[in-house]
Amino acid sequence: MKAKQAHFDKEELQILKDFEDGQLRSIRNRETEKKELEQAARSTLQKDRRINIRISSRDLERIQMRAAREGNPYQTYIASPLHKLVAGRLTEKG
């Protein structure tokens, strides 16, 4: 019987290479590390400020329709590219 050939994506191949090269190491205090990372994520994603902007009714309706198609609240749809922009993961065209 023939063994199935595993198919890996680019990221999985890099992890496999790093493992085989001995570049990966175990986390000593896994639960502590997990709790610290969870807290950092919560702090990063916490929405603690409110802003008001003026926008045309037409633009708002389009935003709401696009957000609904993606299954997101329109406020989240608006906030996401703003967050990416300030995090450096979205660049301005111009």
pLDDT tens for each residue of the chain, 94 residues long: 566 777 889 999 999 899 899 998 888 888 998 998 888 887 777 778 889 999 999 999 999 999 999 999 999 899 888 888 888 888 767 6
Secondary structure (H, E, C), 54-89: CCCHHHHHHHHHHHHHHCCCHHHHHHHHHHHHHCCC
62 touches 72 (CB < 8 A) = no
Predicted pLDDT of residue 93: 74
pLDDT at 3: 63
Instruction: Report residue 22: phi and psi, to 5°.
Output: 75, 20
